[in-house]
Structure 1
Amino acid sequence: MSAIIAEPKSFRPDIEGLRALAVLGVIAFHFGVTDLPGGFVGVDVFFVISGYLITKHLLQEIDRRGTVDLLTFYARRARRLLPASIFVILVTLFAGYFILAPSEQQLYSKGALFASTYVINLWLIRWSLDYFAPDASNNPFIHFWSLSVEEQFYLVWPALLLLLVRVRADRRSLFIMMAGIAAISFAACAWLTDVSQPWAFYFSPFRAWEFALGGLAAMTLSESWAKRSAISPLLGWAGLALILGTYLTVSEEDPFPGFIALAPAMGTVMVLLSGMRESRVAPKNILAMAPFQWTGKLSYSLYLWHWPVIVYAAMLMPDMSIVQRLACLALTFVLSIISYHLVENPIRRNAWLVAGTGRSIGLAAILTVSGAALAYGNAKFAGRNFNPEQQLIATSAERSSSVRQTDESCVADLETVKPRPCVFGASMSDKTVVLFGDSHADHWSTPLIEIAKKEGFRLITYMKSSCRATRMTTYNIKLRRDYTECDDWREQAIKEIIAMKPQMVIVSQLSISHLDEEISDPSEYPLRKQQWAEGITSTAEELSDVGIDVVYLRDVPTHKSYIDKCVARALWQKREPSVCDTPRAEAMDDADAKTEREIIARVENARYVDMTDLFCSETTCQAMIDGKLTFRDRHHIATPYAASLAAPMERAVFENQMAHIQNGRTNAAKDRAVPMAR
C-alpha cells in the first residue's frame, strides 16, 4: 500500500510503524495465520493513514502557496506508485506462464490489465456478484483492488480541495464538507454491507469515509494541543488496542466493512493523534522501533509481492507446511527488498524525473499503457496455447447442466423466494419424479433428464442456489447473514410438491460435512448437527407421510482443490492429472454419512442412495475417470461426466422402483389424505 510519503522535516516514525502493523496484518491473514483472522483490516488502516497524510500535505501546500499544484501532485504519485506496481504485474504475468493453465492465463491477464489502469476494484464488483464466477482466491492480482481505491481517491480529493480554494472556502467550511462526505459515505457503506456487500467493499465512494476520517484527524486538533494533552498516550494505546482487537476477533465471515470497519479506522485516528505528543509511555515509542521502521519502509513492496507469492505457492504446494509458508514469507521480503532498492526508490528519487513534472506524467502514461498492452498481449498469447487437451478441460468446466442449458432461472438465485418448477422428460405423463435441492441437485439433473426421456416419466425440478432441502436456517456467506430467503422458498416448494402428488422426490444437497464452514464458533457444531438431523427428518417425513417415495442422495466428494484448474495446470506442466486426486478419507466424511443414513432409515418410504463409487475408489477420489473431468470445481460434477452416469444412476435410484412409478401411486398412498395447495 502507498500512504503518501511525508517530507523529511515532518517525518513521523510512528506512522512508518503503523504502516508496518497494517501490512503485517494483511500478510498474516493471507498466509493463513488463523490466530489473526481479521488481519485483512490492515487495508483499512492504510486508507486512514493515506487520508491523514494527503490532507495534511495538501493543506500545508495551500497555506504556503494559496493553491494546489495538481500536476506536481500527480507526478509525485506516479513516481511513487506506478514503477513498482507495473514491475510486480509484469513479473507475475511472466511467472504465470509456467504455473497457470492457458485458460487461467487468459482470465487473470484481465486482472493485470485492470490493475495496470487502477480500476480492478470495479471488475471485482462484477466478479463477486456472479455466483458462478471463477475462484477469485486464485487471482494473483486481486489485491490491487485497494490500490485502485487509493488512486481513485488521489485523483479526486486534491482536485476537490483546489476547487474549494478557488471559491474561497475557509477551513471551517472544508471541515464541515469533509465530515459530510464521511457521514454520507459511511451510511451508504453500512447499508450496502447488508444489501450488496461487494459494492460496499470494493467501490471507492463507499470507502471514502475512511480517507475522510484521516483527513478530519489532520484538521481536528492542533499539534500544540496534542503535544500538551496528558490523554494523548492513553488515546494511542486505546487506538492500538482497537486495531489489534479487530485483528484478533473479526473474520472474513463477518459483515464487512460496515460498522465493524469503524473499529480499526477509529483506532488508526487515535494512534495518529497520539503520535503528536512526545511521551515515554506512548505507543509511538514501540512503533518507532527498528523492526517496525524497516518493515514500514518496505510496506508498499511487501503488499505488492506477498499475494502473488502465496497464490502461486499454494498452486504448486496445495498442502503447504509451516516451513514452506515461512519460506514464502522470506521470498516475499527478498523480492520486496529488490524492488524497493532497484525499482521503487531509484525512480521515485530520480533527479531527471523530479526536475520536470511533465516527465513524470509522461512516465505514468507510458507505464500505464505498457502494462495494459502487455496484459492484453499475454491474454492473446495464452489463447494460442489452447490445445485440444486444454480445450476439453475448459469446455467440461464451463458447460452448464441440462437444466441450465434450458433455462438459467430453473435454479433460483439467492434473492428469489417464489419457487419456479421446470418440467423435463415426458411432459404429458401422469408419472412424476421431483428433483429437490440446491446446486448439488442441479448437477444430477443431466443424467436424470436422460432417464426421464428413456423411461417416459415427467421430471420436475425445484432448485435454489445454496438452499438445502433440510429444514434448517443456514448462514449464507455471499449475503453475509442468515439465508431467510431459502427458508421461505423451501416451505413454498414443499407445499407445491405435496400438492403435485409425485411418485418420487429425489433430494440432493450440500451435506452436513460443510456445516463447520458456516459457523464461526466450533462449540456450536454439536447443536447445528442436531438441528440438521431434525431438519432432514422434518422434510423427509412431511413428504413421506403423504405417500411420496423419498430418495436421499449421499453428497458427492469435496476435493482439496478446484479440479478443473488443477488438471489444466497439471497437463500444462506435463504432469499426470492424478496429482489432483484427493484421498477418500479427506474428500468424504463417512461418520456424517452414517448419521444421514440412519436418519433416512427411520423414515417410512425413504431410501438412502450412495453413489460414491462413481467418483472414488476405496482409497482415492479421482480428478479424471475414463478421460473425463469428474468435477468442474471442488464439488460440482462436470456436466460431460454427469451425462455418462445415466445408466448407473438409473440402477441405483430406480431399480425396483420403476414399476411403482409406471403403475402410479401405491394403494397405501391412495388411501392417504393429501393437503391441497393454497
Structure 2
Amino acid sequence: MAASFRPDIQGLRALAVGGVVAYHFGLTALPGGFAGVDIFFVISGWLITTHLMQEITETGRLDLWRFYARRARRLLPAAIFVILITLAIGTFIMAPQEQALYSRGAMYAAAYTINLWLLRWSFDYFAADALSNPFIHFWSLSVEEQFYLVWPALLVFAAWLHRGRRMTVVVIGTVGLASFAACLWLTSLSPAWAFYFSPLRAWEFAAGGLATFAAPILWRHQSWLRAAQGWLGLALIAVAYLCLSEDLPFPGWYALLPVAGSVLVLLNGAGEQGDAPARTRWRALAPAAMLSLPPLQWVGTLSYSLYLWHWPVIVYATMLQPDLGVAQRIGCAVLALALASATYRLIENPARRGDWLAATARAFRFDASPAAGPLRLFPGLALAPALVLTAAGVAAAYANAHLATRNIDPTQRGIEEAAEQPSIARAVDKDCLLDFHTVEPKPCTFGPADAAHTIVLFGDSHADHWSTPLVEAAKRNDTKVITYLKSSCRASRLSTFNAVLKRDYTECDAWREQAISDIIRSKPRLVVISEFSIGNLTRDMSAASRKAEIGRWQAGLRSTLEAFSQAGVEAAVIRDTPIGDSFANACVARALWWREAPSLCDTPRAEAANDDVAAAERAVVKSIPDTLYVDLTDRFCGPTECHVFIDGKLAFRDRHHLATAFAETLAGPLEKALF
C-alpha cells in the first residue's frame, strides 16, 4: 500500500474533470461526461483508505486531527476563495432575488452541506433551471467531505473490532453493499435522494477502498493481463461518457460503468508500480503510461481548481449570452483553465504546502496497539483555522443574502410574487395537480354545486395554468369547472418517457384512461383540453424524426377526442403556449437589474410558437365532430416576437407556464371563445 505519488491517478483525475467540463459546456459527443464525478469518488475511496490503513499498519495509531487538517488544508482555501469571488461577480449579473437564493446555497456550500440543501429544495441536477445555480456543483464536494468525516471512524471501528485487514474488508464491504442496494432502490423511487445523499453514494467510495486490499493479490498476475485489465477499465469509462445520458436512471446500475472502470485502472496502476524491471515492455503498453502524459498531468494537477471554476464560468456566461456558440464555449473553457491555474498557484498549492491550517502536535488519536486498551482521545486545535475559514465563508454568504434581499425593489418583488403565485386549482388544493406516482384521478370542483352547466378541464400542468381564467369565465356563465390534472401527463393517448423518473410514465397511461372514463360517465357540457404539445420533441431531432413524433402525438390526440365525440361529449382544445428560450421570471428580473427593457427576454416567434405543431393539432381537431380549437397565441406573440412581459405583467413564470396574474387577464378572451 505505498503512499507515493502515482502519475496514473493524476491522469485519471484529468479524465474525470474533463468529462464533467465537457458535459457542462455542452459537448454533445460526451453525453455521459457527468459520470466523471463518480470517478472522483472512487479515487477518493482508494487514496483515503490507502493513507489511513498505512498509518494504522505502520504506527498502530490513527491521527484523526492531522488527517482532517490535511483535508482542510487541501480543499478549503480554494473552495472558499471561489465561493467569495462567485458571489461578488454574481452581484453584477444575477437579479437580487437570485442573489438572495443562491447566497443561501453558498452558505451551505461553504459548510459542505449543499447536497442536503439541494434535497430540501428539490433541485434536479439535470433540470434546465440548474443552469442558473452557480453553486450546484458543490454537491459532490459536500458528499466527499461527508465521506471524509465518516470513513476514518469506520476504519477505526473495524480495527477496534479486530486487528487485521480481514475485518476491515468485511466492514467496508458490508457498508458498500448496503449503500448500493439502497441506491438501486431509490434511483427510481426518489432520484434526487439517490443522486445527492452521501450514504447512497458511499458504495462508490467503498469500491475504491476495497480495491486497495485487492491490489497486492493482483500484483502477482502477469503484466500483460494487468495491462488488458487497465485498458478494459478505460473502455468502461469511455462507454460511460459516450452512452450514458441524463435520460437514464442515474446513479443506479449505470454508475457501475465509471466505478468499475476506475477501479480497474487504479488496480492496473498499482500493479505496474510493483512490476519487476524485466517486464518493463508491458509498462509502455499499460494505461498508466498514457495517463502519465504531460498534458493529462497538467490538467490533473489543476483538476480541483478547474472543477471549482468551470461551473460558475459557464453559468454566468449563459446568463449574459443565452445562445453561446462553439467559439464562445471554447473561450469559457480557456477562461476556466486560466482561473484554475491562478487559483492553484496562488491559493491551493501555497495553502497545501504551507504551515497555515497545519496540524498541531497534540492530536486526536486512535491507538490500535494491543497494549493500548480502549480508545484514547486527545483534543487538539488542528481544525481551528479551518473552522474560522468556514465560518468566514458562511458569514460572507449570509451577509450577501441579506444585502441582496434589501436590494429587491417593488418591481422585482412583484416579478418574484407573480412567478410563485399558484393557479386557482393548486391554490385551493395542491393535489388538484397530481404528482407523478398517483394513479387514481382526483377531480376538483370550482363553482356552485347547483350550477346549470359543467365544464371539465383535462390535461397536464399546461391545462392547470388555464384553470384560473377558465374558472373566472365559467363563474360569469352559471357554470362549474371540474379539473382532472396530472403533472407531465397529457390528455392525448400517448405513452411518454418521464424525465424525472427516468423511465416510461406508466402511471400517466393508467391515470388517463381512468380520467377519460370518469369524464364520459359524468356527461359534462364541455371538456377543455390543453397540454404540453411538444413534450415529445427536441430541437436536435432530425426532420424525419420530428415528423414521426408529431404523427404519433396526432394519433394519440385523435384517439382521446374520438372517445369523447363518440360518447356525445363536446370538446375544446386550447393551443399550447409559446416556449421561450429563457426562464421568464429570472430573465426579466435580470434585465431590470441591468437597466434593460424586459423585451431583452423575448423569443422569436419562429422558435417559440411552434406553428407547425399547432397546424398538426388544428388538423386533428377539425377532423373530429363537435370539437373546437381555441387559439390565443396572438395574446402572447406578435408577427415576429413572443413576449414575456405584457402590459406591465409577467406573462410566464418560467419558460412555458403562464404566470397566474397574467392568466387572469385572459378570462375575457377565453369566455368569448368557449361560451
TM-score, length-normalised on structure 1?
A: 0.92
Query: What is the aligned partner in structure 1 of residue 258 from structure 2?
Result: 264
Matching residue's letter, 1:155: L
The whole-number CA distance in structure 2 between the counterparts of 1:536 and 1:355 is 68
1:353–1:359 Cα contact (<8 Å) kept? no
1:560 maps to which of 564, 581, 586: 581
Query: What is the aligned partner in structure 1 of residue 571 from structure 2?
Result: 550
Q: Kindly, what percent of the aligned residue pairs are identical? A: 55
1:282 maps to which of 272, 286, 290: 286
| Alignment length (residue pairs) | 646
1:415–1:485 Cα contact (<8 Å) kept? yes
1:124 maps to which of 96, 118, 125: 118
What do residues 606-659 of structure 1 show as CA deviations (whole Å, max 9, x unaligned)?
1221110010001100111111111000000011110111111112232xxxxx
The structural deviation recorded for 1:522 is 9.2
The structural deviation recorded for 1:226 is 5.2
Matching residue's letter, 1:281: L
Matching residue's letter, 1:319: D
Unaligned residue ranges in structure 2 (runs of 5+): 273-279, 362-379
Query: What is the aligned partner in structure 1 of residue 611 from structure 2?
Result: 590
Structure 1 residues 613 and 525 mapped into 2: Cα distance closer, same or farther (>3 Å)?
closer
Matches within 5 A, 1:5-154: 10-128=4-122, 135-154=129-148
The whole-number CA distance in structure 2 between the counterparts of 1:282 and 1:561 is 47
Matching residue's letter, 2:32: G
The whole-number CA distance in structure 2 between the counterparts of 1:542 and 1:411 is 23
Query: What is the aligned partner in structure 2 of residue 251 from structure 1?
Result: 245
What do residues 581-607 of structure 1 show as CA deviations (whole Å, max 9, x unaligned)?
000000022111111111111111112
The structural deviation recorded for 1:360 is 4.6
The whole-number CA distance in structure 2 between the counterparts of 1:256 and 1:354 is 38
What do residues 27-78 of structure 1 show as CA deviations (whole Å, max 9, x unaligned)?
0000000000000000000000110111111111111111211000000001
The whole-number CA distance in structure 2 between the counterparts of 1:129 and 1:392 is 23
Matching residue's letter, 1:67: R
SS in 1 for 2:490: coil
The structural deviation recorded for 1:524 is 6.0
SS in 1 for 2:455: strand
What do residues 298-351 of structure 1 show as CA deviations (whole Å, max 9, x unaligned)?
000000000011001000000111111111111101111111111111111113
Which segment drifts farther, 21-30 or 594-603? 594-603
1:482 maps to which of 480, 485, 504: 504
Query: What is the aligned partner in structure 2 of residue 273 from structure 1?
Result: 267
Structure 1 residues 21 and 261 mapped into 2: Cα distance closer, same or farther (>3 Å)?
same
Query: What is the aligned partner in structure 2 of residue 446 from structure 1?
Result: 468
Matches within 5 A, 1:467-616: 467-511=489-533, 513-517=534-538, 526-616=547-637
RMSD between aligned alpha carbons? 2.0
The whole-number CA distance in structure 1 between the counterparts of 2:86 and 2:540 is 35
Query: What is the aligned partner in structure 1 of residue 375 from structure 2?
Result: none
1:567–1:580 Cα contact (<8 Å) kept? yes
The whole-number CA distance in structure 1 between the counterparts of 2:128 and 2:420 is 10
Query: What is the aligned partner in structure 2 of residue 657 from structure 1?
Result: none
TM-score, length-normalised on structure 2?
A: 0.93
Structure 1 residues 526 and 623 mapped into 2: Cα distance closer, same or farther (>3 Å)?
closer
What do residues 174-214 of structure 1 show as CA deviations (whole Å, max 9, x unaligned)?
11221222211111111111111111111111111111110
1:78–1:360 Cα contact (<8 Å) kept? no
Structure 1 residues 556 and 65 mapped into 2: Cα distance closer, same or farther (>3 Å)?
same
The whole-number CA distance in structure 1 between the counterparts of 2:255 and 2:650 is 42
Matching residue's letter, 2:674: V
1:426–1:452 Cα contact (<8 Å) kept? no
Q: Does 1:401 align with 2:405?
A: no
1:183 maps to which of 177, 193, 197: 177
The structural deviation recorded for 1:373 is 1.1
1:309–1:328 Cα contact (<8 Å) kept? yes
Matches within 5 A, 1:337-348: 337-348=341-352
2:474–2:671 Cα contact (<8 Å) kept? no
The structural deviation recorded for 1:169 is 3.4
The whole-number CA distance in structure 2 between the counterparts of 1:532 and 1:56 is 56
Q: Does 1:377 align with 2:399?
A: yes
Structure 1 residues 74 and 385 mapped into 2: Cα distance closer, same or farther (>3 Å)?
same
Q: Does 1:648 align with 2:648?
A: no
1:306–1:329 Cα contact (<8 Å) kept? yes
1:564–1:629 Cα contact (<8 Å) kept? yes
1:164–1:174 Cα contact (<8 Å) kept? yes
1:429–1:458 Cα contact (<8 Å) kept? yes
SS in 1 for 2:476: helix
SS in 1 for 2:445: strand
Structure 1 residues 294 and 447 mapped into 2: Cα distance closer, same or farther (>3 Å)?
same
2:159–2:167 Cα contact (<8 Å) kept? no
2:353 maps to which of 333, 349, 353: 349
Matching residue's letter, 1:143: H
Matching residue's letter, 1:642: A
Query: What is the aligned partner in structure 2 of residue 634 from structure 1?
Result: 655
Matching residue's letter, 1:416: T
The structural deviation recorded for 1:129 is 7.0
The whole-number CA distance in structure 1 between the counterparts of 2:538 and 2:447 is 36
SS in 1 for 2:83: helix
The whole-number CA distance in structure 1 between the counterparts of 2:541 and 2:669 is 39
Matches within 5 A, 1:458-469: 458-469=480-491
The whole-number CA distance in structure 2 between the counterparts of 1:632 and 1:15 is 46
Matching residue's letter, 1:294: W
SS in 1 for 2:456: strand
1:519–1:525 Cα contact (<8 Å) kept? no
1:436–1:469 Cα contact (<8 Å) kept? yes
Q: Does 1:624 align with 2:645?
A: yes
Q: Does 1:308 align with 2:312?
A: yes
SS in 1 for 2:529: strand
SS in 1 for 2:515: helix
Matching residue's letter, 1:633: D
The whole-number CA distance in structure 2 between the counterparts of 1:224 and 1:39 is 29
Matching residue's letter, 2:339: L
The whole-number CA distance in structure 2 between the counterparts of 1:491 and 1:40 is 37
The structural deviation recorded for 1:427 is 2.8
Structure 1 residues 285 and 50 mapped into 2: Cα distance closer, same or farther (>3 Å)?
same
Q: Does 1:221 align with 2:215?
A: yes
What do residues 543-564 of structure 1 show as CA deviations (whole Å, max 9, x unaligned)?
1112211101110000000000
Query: What is the aligned partner in structure 2 of residue 671 from structure 1?
Result: none
Matching residue's letter, 1:333: L
Unaligned residue ranges in structure 1 (runs of 5+): 1-5, 655-678
Query: What is the aligned partner in structure 2 of residue 330 from structure 1?
Result: 334
